Chain A
Amino acid sequence: MTNYVLRNCQSLSLRIVSTGIFSFVHVTVVVLLAGVVFRYLNNVSVPLLSSLISVLIIFFCRGFRRPFIKPVRQCLADVFSRRDYFLYVITGLFIIQAVVLVGKVVWLPPHIWDVFVYHLPPVVEWFQQGAIPPALDTTVARMNGAPLGMSLLAYWFFIFFRDDVLVEMPMLLWALLLAPVSVAAMRQSGVSRVWSFKFAVLIFFLPIVIMQAVTVKDHLGLNVGFFAGLVFLSGFLKDRNHGYLLVAAAAFGLALGYKIAAPVHILVALSVFSVLLWFHPVAWPADKKQWQTLVKTTGLSALIILTISGYWYLRNFLVYGRLHGAYGLTLNEAGDGLVSDAGAIDTMLNKFGNFGVFRTNLSELLPRIFDYQYSYGTDLAGISGFGPQFAAFGLLGLVVAIGSVFNKRLRQQPAFLISTVAVLLFVALMFININANSYRILSFFPMILITYAGIQLFHSKFLDQKWARGLTNSIIALSITWCFLLLLPPQYTNPLRLKEFASLDHDARTSANYTSWFIRPRPEFYRLLDDIPVTEPIAYVDYRGSFSQGEVGIDTWQYLYMDRHWQRKLHALHLPDYFDCQENGQCQAGPALKPFLKENRVSLLSSCKINRCLKIKDDSLVEIVPGFYYFLGDR
């Protein structure tokens, strides 16, 4: 299919990137079709539909086969025949790091809080319901507002094993795809293969990439997809290959399907692209035929984007009457929307008029970029995760990227589009995002600016000098070694118990047993969970308010209740429907509780969101461990 779409493209790296993107699109469309359209989602329908679509693609694209293995082998032979021993070493480290990451994906359970809150709980629901319903019964607003494209991939990786062993694989695949994306961007700008490889490995080792690669969050997929889309857009400006626009649309479609903030990314990218297209001597259509082709391709691109990500926005609009769904809704404890915000566009415009956020972000920029205030962590609390490589190369890239606007020679480079979009988008997001974790979404910035620095260093002939090559190699080696070592230990766990966790039986290696968030405040509850038969449903009190100080997060972390095979059934008990609570967190069970528990054959009830629990008083409920109750009623 890549060869069909890209036709005359000779770039191996672009073909690899395109193949990766089409694979993600394939999975996304298959799961959406089975879950939303056919409402028949299981381990038979998904592979069947996937095979059917694959056969159709093979049939329609049968005349476009091109060798793949031979060019890859030639490319590698060419790179490694240069006897650049440094390249051998970092390639070795790249392979080791990739293996370590695969090991972490396989061995460690999901362990990031957003994943527990809204990335995986919907997937569990889809699996248990055998379909993707338009809205889920929850007070977690993000579950009914966020585009859940990454969760679709997680479903794909669950369904074949019926085990959550590989649910975090999609982000790792995106991280691995980043290497060919970086190579493609640099090769497009005429950088040699060897230096493209070196900088691509350096970018792969960005702490923000390594840390997020073993989660099933969305930021990395969003930004690598976005970067890939930009590379294809700049490729179009260079070669006027209309196939590039289609691949860019597929990449942008995936990005839009991953994050509610993605429209800002795409808007900035398309704005800069349109301006550059207008002034571009090659890409701007010269005659009517070229115009027609461009219009057709643009229409087809829009259709591709709509097919891949349109469902989430359409669902939001149909269910909530707005494109960002339940996001920004002030919910009551029953999960019903009480007050909505001003709407996506108004909110956005208000934020752009607020220089206070921008100023604060600007004052925090250097401490964040240098990562020194807090330890490395996937949530990037108080840090950027841009690593030493950004300090050495990214900042240089930033200076040149800003300067390139005023330099005609630099403006004519294909990478001008990419670097300009990166800088503008970074500034735009500095107006919108302000919180301890706000740099999670900025991973495109170091990826693109280090790429850009590599391009400029290569073209300035700086790397022609032996001492400069040695120095650059040394900085690359130092950065890679730093990131490799310091990001090697697993995160968010108790290292003293890591050996115990690793030696447990497969089914006991759950999130509840691994994560320090859980085993710190109430160890006995979380350690008890995998001793409870999976056939026993658990009801949990679902609320967004807080009854005590020190409560972590406003949303319930549902995933921790789950067994690895997602067999346990969970029931949300919306607080006001079932309990009468005082401000101190003391609650009386309401009349509706017992009938509900009996009707649903529920014996176990959790009153905790994460680390704080409500105290429930009722004669028929016995507190087994803090916040965990056993229902004594007739079953």
Chain B
Amino acid sequence: MRHKLIEWFVTGSAVLLVVIYIVLNSSKLEYFKNTWVETGSGKAAPSVQLAIAGTQVYQQRLKASEIYDTKGLRQIYFMHLPKAVFARAHAETEDATLLYKQQEIPLSKTKNSAALLAVTRDERIYLLAEDELKYMMTVIWNERFQANNIVQCANLELCKSVAIKSKFWGPVQGPFLDTDFSPDRRGMPKGRWTMGPKTTLDIMSTKPQVISLQLNLLGVLADQELDFRGAVTRVQKPQIEAEPRNIGGKSLHPAAYVVSLDLKPGLNYLEIIYSSWEKPLTESANPLAAYLTSIVIREAE
């Protein structure tokens, strides 16, 4: 009888403990499922083939580089070719093409002839000799040096006479791939976060002038409206494609405003006042209002 009781106790305990373990760890099943789904939704690295006079001479898989050009539109890639292959491609550039994503892309020599370049809609692919480093570093530095800004000018003169700064926006970030590790960054274009209830821009002008600023942004809420105060003479809201975009773990709403400003020499202000913004879930989180993707400065019409 005692032996039977011990048996039942042991059996019951083992079953109970294993059930407790599995119930307590049931969230791991969800994690497993998500990992499986995410793995399945990834994409293989595309293959690039270099052909000279119709003959394939080199092949490589291209992984996302996450180094973008100045405007944050194209990723920059480097392919280091064996010296002999590079020399031949260099000598026969007119006959050389890159086969990439089922497209034949012509090659051109860079200005200093240190590399060959292929440009597609989303990529700039540099072909270099296998030990070339200096030119590669120059290309990256050059693109990134100019990339740390979301302000664009219609002409060089405007950029010299107008400078825009703010203490109320976040750092320039992005663009990020739609496969980025962090859901908060996934798929986000280049831009700066601004916070509610308002953002003040400091606009320094070297002379009196009338300009227009086009603010392209992604609002955090569908019914968000922006009001502008300061050196403002007129505000327009051009119609743009306004389908919400599910990026950065949020549904973001594209919008654009064109604000005409009458600038006096020296410091001018532009206040952007948001009708609504994201209510932060924690005290330390920021009350995000909009993601400014670009500010284009033009002379006023």
- Name the residue of chain B whose CB is nearest to the CB of A522: B66
Is the CB of B166 closer than 8 A to any CB of chain A?
Answer: no
How many angstroms between the C-alpha atoms of A478 and B130 in the bound complex?
Answer: 53
A527 touches B64 (CB 8 A): yes
Does A531 sit within 8 A of B, measured CB to CB?
Answer: yes
Q: Say which residue of A395, A482, A488 sits within 8 Å of B17 (CB atoms).
A: A395
Asked whether B20 lies within 8 Å of A370 as measured between CB atoms, the reply is yes
When the two chains form their complex, are residues B32 and A531 in contact, meaning their CB atoms are under 8 A apart?
A: no
Q: How many A-B pairs with Cβ below 8 Å?
A: 146
* Inter-subunit contact A471/B39 (CB<8 Å): no
Which A511-551 residues have C-beta < 8 A from chain B?
513, 516, 519-520, 523-524, 527-528, 531-533, 535-536
Given contacts A503-B44, A536-B133, contact A630 B18 (CB under 8 A): no
Q: Which residues does chain B contribute within 8 Å of A136, judged by CB atoms?
A: none
Determine the chain A residues whose CB is within 8 A of the CB of B74 once the complex forms.
Answer: none
Contact B63 A513 (CB under 8 A): yes
Contacting residues, chain A, for B39 (C-beta < 8 A)? 489, 495-496, 498-499
Partner of B15, one of A395, A475, A496: A475
B29 at the interface (CB under 8 A from A): yes
- Could you say which residues of chain B place their CB within 8 Å of the CB of A598? none
Binary contact track B1-45/A, C-beta < 8 Å → 1, others 0? 000000100110111011011101100110110011011011111
- B44 adjacent to A475 (CB under 8 Å): no
A485 lies within 8 A of chain B by Cβ: yes
Residues A624 and B141 in contact, CB atoms below 8 Å apart = yes
Selected contact of A372 from candidates B24, B38, B41, B141, CB within 8 Å: B24
The residue from B60, B63, B80, B130 contacting A500, defined by CB atoms under 8 A apart = B63
Instruction: Confirm or deny: A96 has a beta carbon within 8 angstroms of a beta carbon on chain B.
Output: no
A218 to chain B, nearest CB (A): 26
Decide yes or no whether A286 CB sits under 8 A from chain B.
no
- The answer to whether residues A622 and B17 also contact, given A508-B61, A523-B66, A533-B80 and a CB cut-off of 8 A, is no
Determine whether A18 belongs to the interface, using a CB cutoff of 8 Å to chain B. no
Tell me whether A433 is interfacial, beta carbon within 8 Å.
no
- Bound form: Cα–Cα A494–B38 in Å: 9
Does A375 sit at the interface, judged by CB under 8 A?
yes
Q: What DSSP secondary structure best describes chain B's contact surface? A: helix
Known: A500-B44, A603-B133. Contact between A371 and B21, CB under 8 A?
yes
Interface flags, B54-79, vs A, CB<8A=1, else 0: 00000011011111000000000010
| A309-349 contact mask (Cβ, 8 Å, vs B): 1 or 0 | 00000000000000000000000000000000000000000
A454-489 near B? 1/0 per residue, CB < 8 Å: 000000101000001001000100110010011011
Q: Is B140 an interface residue (CB 8 A)?
A: yes
Contacts of A516 in B (CB 8 A): 181
Asked if A393 CB lies within 8 Å of chain B CBs, one says yes
A468-B25 contact given A523-B66, A533-B130, A536-B133, CB 8 Å threshold: no
- A524 x B65 contact (CB < 8 A): yes
* Complex contact B14–A392 (CB within 8 A): yes
> Is A625 engaged at the interface, CB distance under 8 Å to the other chain?
yes
Among A513, A523, A527, A604, the one with the most B-chain Cβ atoms within 10 Å of its Cβ is A523
Instruction: Report yes or no: A495 in contact with B42, Cβ–Cβ below 8 A.
Output: yes
1/0 contact string of A39-60 vs chain B (CB within 8 Å): 0000000000000000000000
Is A502 located at the chain interface by the 8 A CB criterion? Answer: yes
Q: For B38, give the chain A residue with the smallest CB separation.
A: A495
Q: A528 contacts which chain B residues (CB < 8 A)?
A: 65, 67, 140
Inter-chain contact B15/A471, CB cutoff 8 Å: yes
Within 8 A of B (CB), among A377-430: 387-388, 391-393, 395-396
Of B42, B43, B133, B182, the contact of A520 (CB 8 Å cutoff): B182
Q: Check if B44 sits within 8 Å of A499, measured CB to CB.
A: yes
Query: Quick one: closest B residue to A531, CB to CB?
Result: B78
Determine how close the nearest CB of chain B comes to the CB of A110; give it in whole angstroms.
18
Return the contact of B28 from the options A486, A495, A536 (Cβ within 8 A). Answer: A486
Which of A371, A391, A496 touches B18 (beta carbons < 8 Å)?
A391
Contact call A622/B43, Cβ cutoff below 8 A: no
Assess whether A497 is interfacial by the CB under 8 Å rule.
Answer: yes
| Across-interface contacts of B42 in A (CB, < 8 A) | 495-500
In the bound complex, CA of A523 to CA of B64 (Å): 10
For the complex, is B137 an interface residue (Cβ under 8 Å from A)?
yes
Asked if A505 is at the interface of the complex by the 8 Å CB criterion, the answer is yes
Is B18 within 8 A of A388, CB to CB?
A: yes
The reply on B198 being an interface residue by CB < 8 A is no
Which chain B residues border A504 with CB–CB below 8 Å? 45, 61, 63
Specify which of A393, A494, A536, A630 is in contact with B141 (CB 8 Å cutoff): A630
User: Shortest beta-carbon distance, A462 to chain B, in Å?
Assistant: 6
Is there contact, CB below 8 Å, between A500 and B43?
A: yes
Chain B residues with CB under 8 Å of A478's CB are: 18, 22
Q: Smallest distance from the beta carbon of A625 to chain B beta carbons, Å?
A: 7
Interfacial chain B residues near A460, Cβ < 8 Å: 7
Nearest Cβ on chain B to A290's Cβ, whole angstroms = 41
Residues of A within 8 A of B31 (CB): 375
Determine whether A236 belongs to the interface, using a CB cutoff of 8 Å to chain B: no
Can you identify 17 A-B contacts, CB atoms within 8 angstroms?
A370-B25, A388-B21, A391-B21, A471-B15, A475-B14, A488-B32, A489-B39, A499-B43, A500-B63, A503-B61, A513-B63, A520-B181, A531-B65, A531-B80, A533-B80, A535-B131, A625-B67
Name B residues whose Cβ lies closer than 8 Å to a Cβ of A. Answer: 7, 10-11, 13-15, 17-18, 20-22, 24-25, 28-29, 31-32, 35-36, 38-39, 41-45, 60-61, 63-67, 78, 80, 130-134, 136-137, 140-141, 144, 179-182
Question: What 7 A-B pairs come out closest when comparing CB atoms?
Answer: A499-B42, A372-B24, A503-B44, A495-B38, A496-B179, A391-B17, A391-B21
Known: A395-B17, A494-B180, A624-B140. 4 other contacts (CB 8 A): A376-B28, A471-B15, A486-B29, A504-B45
Which residues does A use to contact B, with CB under 8 Å?
370-372, 375-376, 387-388, 391-393, 395-396, 460, 462, 468, 471, 475, 478-479, 482, 485-486, 488-489, 494-505, 508, 513, 516, 519-520, 523-524, 527-528, 531-533, 535-536, 603-604, 622-625, 630
